[in-house]
């Protein structure tokens, strides 16, 4: 039998599986080469394979979204490794054990999406029912945009539109003869991402289960991208996108935020896009939420900074547990699984986009565009009220732009910590002086991003220079 190729890095580290030994026993729907797509049924199978990569399902058939939940929180100073500090906890990105994780997983998604786009585009429209061909392509482009934006946010100088240090943009399914490619400039990287996102908004499905991408998820993703793009014309667009999502009445804020994580999961009315656990995942010991408790293969914990951030906040009792005896100054992170509880489908659920983030990004866009401070305060009080907060003194006392931006950032951290990285990216969007004040270990913008993994330069010498401040 001919070997099947699966990419593990940006088209570089390739592993083959013969008919005698399958790679991690990947299921049939993990095969995403465009050559296997011959009709609507096989298109859907390939699309499921791309979502399989988005969910980071491992060989144990468990979704491992840990890098999304933990890594950004570590860089922001709120989470940590429970058996001893990782260098990333002081923003020593060059020596952090987390500095290659997004590179691997994001290019797995991109390669899968590229295979789908190639295969589905080549098929006759008549091979599909209704608008499904356009929708499949839109979902694949959403996944590619999501992964590319993740890469740009962690490995490119996203904060400088004039920088040459952008993405390694791949728009073809990578095989051994298509590895060599140079990275693109930041401006071109944003253009590629926004082109995919706009297609996903225009052609994406209006209604799908919330573990699939819809046009609403694409709108939320575009809001994130535009906030990092950070041009004056971007902020009115962010506000308009937020209003489109909020006013649709398809989603609503959960009456009590903690119910999302402790009882409702994907059944919550405010989850725009989440990660559904694999079948019977909760029965396996080395699961996602068990990594927040000693005894599993890892232990990820809350740090004193998160406990202090939540002092006097009704979220502290259910998000921060008792002290972790293995590492001073850390506490059990109980946002997903309470101490003494059993693993469930809900505790294994992960969240990419929630309506809360839409509200908070709208508030930030209002501040940055010179909008109404009263409207910003109303948004903050609404979101915080759904988390059980009743003391809004800090919000009422925020009297200038920097203070309002700081209060928005603090609520993003309280509300979205440990989900999909917004506590880190929102910190870096703040004025540089304020970022340094809140996170003194961010001594310069070199530490805003990570070095491109060394292996990429070995297998793809055409990529170009390493990020400034790092060695190849």
CATH (domain of 167): 1.25.40.390
Number of separate domains in the chain? 2
Same structural domain, 30 and 148: yes
Same structural domain, 161 and 58: yes
Residue 68, pLDDT score? 96
Residue 137, pLDDT score? 98
Same structural domain, 35 and 157: yes
Per-residue pLDDT tens over the stretch 106-147: 999 999 999 999 999 999 999 999 999 999 999 999 999 999
CA distance 457 to 248: 46
Single out the residue in 332, 348, 364 at which a domain terminates: 348
User: What is the SS3 assignment for 353-378?
Assistant: EEHHHHHHHHHHHHHHCCCCHHHHHH
Report yes or no on 302 lying in a domain.
Answer: yes
Residue 287 — pLDDT band, cuts 50, 70, 90? confident
Residue 32, pLDDT score? 57
- Report, as an integer, the average pLDDT of 19-40: 54
Same structural domain, 57 and 146: yes
Report yes or no on 367 lying in a domain.
Answer: no
Single out the residue in 321, 348, 375 at which a domain terminates: 348
Same structural domain, 320 and 191: no
User: Does the structure show a pLDDT above 90 at 34?
Assistant: no
Please check whether residue 303 is in contact with residue 329, taking contact to mean a CB–CB distance below 8 angstroms. yes
- Domain boundaries, position 328: 277-348
Same structural domain, 16 and 150: yes
Please check whether residue 300 is in contact with residue 79, taking contact to mean a CB–CB distance below 8 angstroms. yes
Report yes or no on 209 lying in a domain.
Answer: no
CA distance 118 to 107: 16
Residue 318, pLDDT score? 97
**What is the rounded average pLDDT for all residues in the chain?**
91
**Could you tell me the CA-to-CA distances from 41 to 49, 54, 124 in Å, in that order?**
13, 20, 14
User: Does the structure show a pLDDT above 60 at 6?
Assistant: no
Residue 296 — pLDDT band, cuts 50, 70, 90? confident
Residue 7 — pLDDT band, cuts 50, 70, 90? very low
Per-residue pLDDT tens over the stretch 206-241: 999 999 999 999 999 999 999 999 999 999 999 999
Same structural domain, 198 and 281: no
CA distance 417 to 355: 15
Per-residue pLDDT tens over the stretch 351-371: 999 999 999 999 999 999 999
Contacts 24+ apart (CB under 8 A), 189-192: 189/148, 189/152, 189/156, 189/158, 190/152, 190/158, 190/161, 190/225, 190/229, 192/148, 192/167
Lowest mean pLDDT among 72-81, 82-91, 172-181, 363-372: 172-181
Residue 4 — pLDDT band, cuts 50, 70, 90? very low
CA distance 11 to 170: 9
Residue 106, pLDDT score? 95
Single out the residue in 297, 315, 348 at which a domain terminates: 348
Same structural domain, 17 and 166: yes
- Report, as an integer, the average pLDDT of 10-33: 37
Residue 5, pLDDT score? 29
Report yes or no on 242 lying in a domain.
Answer: no
Strands 330-333 and 300-303: antiparallel
- Report, as an integer, the average pLDDT of 342-346: 95
CA distance 48 to 45: 5
**Rg of the chain, C-alpha, whole Å:** 21
- Report, as an integer, the average pLDDT of 28-49: 80
Residue 179, pLDDT score? 83
Report yes or no on 425 lying in a domain.
Answer: no
Residue 13, pLDDT score? 33
User: Does the structure show a pLDDT above 60 at 454?
Assistant: yes
Residue 178, pLDDT score? 66
Report yes or no on 241 lying in a domain.
Answer: no
User: Does the structure show a pLDDT above 90 at 302?
Assistant: yes
Same structural domain, 152 and 60: yes
Report yes or no on 198 lying in a domain.
Answer: yes
Per-residue pLDDT tens over the stretch 381-437: 999 999 999 999 999 999 899 999 999 999 999 999 999 999 999 999 999 999 999
Same structural domain, 8 and 150: yes
Strand partners for 236: none
Lowest mean pLDDT among 31-45, 60-74, 187-201, 305-319: 31-45
CA distance 200 to 218: 6
Report yes or no on 415 lying in a domain.
Answer: no
Same structural domain, 51 and 191: yes
Same structural domain, 182 and 285: no
Please check whether residue 31 is in contact with residue 46, taking contact to mean a CB–CB distance below 8 angstroms. yes
- Report, as an integer, the average pLDDT of 442-471: 94
């Amino acid at each position: 039998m001919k070997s099947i190729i699966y990419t593990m890095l940006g088209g570089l580290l390739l592993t083959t599986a013969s008919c005698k030994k399958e790679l991690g026993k990947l299921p049939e729907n993990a095969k995403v080469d465009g050559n296997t797509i011959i009709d609507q049924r096989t298109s859907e199978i390939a699309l499921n394979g791309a979502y399989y990569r988005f969910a980071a399902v491992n060989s144990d058939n468990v979704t491992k979204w840990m890098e999304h939940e933990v890594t950004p929180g570590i860089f922001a100073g709120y989470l940590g490794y429970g058996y001893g500090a990782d260098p990333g906890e002081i923003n020593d990105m060059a020596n952090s054990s987390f500095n290659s994780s997004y590179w691997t997983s994001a290019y797995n998604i991109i390669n899968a999406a590229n295979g789908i786009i190639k295969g589905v585009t080549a098929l006759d429209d008549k091979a599909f029912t209704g608008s499904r061909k356009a929708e499949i392509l839109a979902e694949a482009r959403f996944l590619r945009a999501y992964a590319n934006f993740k890469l740009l946010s962690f490995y490119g100088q996203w904060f400088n539109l004039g920088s040459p240090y952008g993405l390694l943009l791949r728009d073809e399914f990578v095989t051994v003869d298509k590895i060599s490619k140079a990275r693109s400039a930041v401006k071109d990287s944003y253009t590629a991402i926004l082109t995919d996102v706009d297609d996903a908004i225009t052609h994406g499905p209006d209604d799908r289960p919330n573990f699939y991408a819809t046009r609403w998820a694409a709108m939320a993703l575009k809001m994130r991208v535009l906030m990092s793009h950070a041009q004056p014309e971007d902020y009115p667009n962010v506000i308009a996108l937020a209003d489109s999502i909020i006013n649709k009445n398809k989603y609503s804020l959960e009456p009590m935020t903690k119910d999302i994580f402790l009882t409702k999961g994907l059944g919550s009315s405010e989850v725009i896009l989440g990660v559904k656990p694999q079948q019977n995942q909760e029965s396996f010991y080395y699961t996602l939420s068990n990594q927040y408790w000693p005894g599993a293969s890892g232990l990820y914990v809350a740090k004193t900074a998160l406990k202090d951030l939540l002092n006097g906040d009704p979220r502290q009792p259910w998000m921060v547990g008792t002290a972790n005896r293995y590492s001073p100054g850390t506490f059990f992170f109980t946002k997903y699984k309470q101490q003494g509880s059993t693993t469930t489908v809900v505790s294994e659920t992960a969240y990419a986009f929630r309506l809360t983030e839409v509200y908070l990004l709208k508030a930030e866009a209002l501040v940055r565009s010179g909008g109404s401070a009263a409207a910003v305060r109303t948004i903050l009080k609404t979101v915080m009220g759904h988390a059980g907060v009743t003391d809004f003194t800090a919000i009422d006392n925020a009297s200038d732009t920097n203070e309002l931006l700081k209060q928005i950032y603090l609520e993003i951290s309280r509300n979205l910590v440990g989900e999909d990285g917004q506590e880190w990216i929102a910190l870096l969007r703040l004025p540089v002086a304020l970022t340094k004040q809140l996170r003194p270990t961010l001594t310069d913008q070199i530490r805003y991003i990570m070095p491109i993994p060394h292996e990429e330069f070995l297998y793809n010498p055409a990529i170009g220079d390493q990020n400034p401040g790092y060695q190849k």
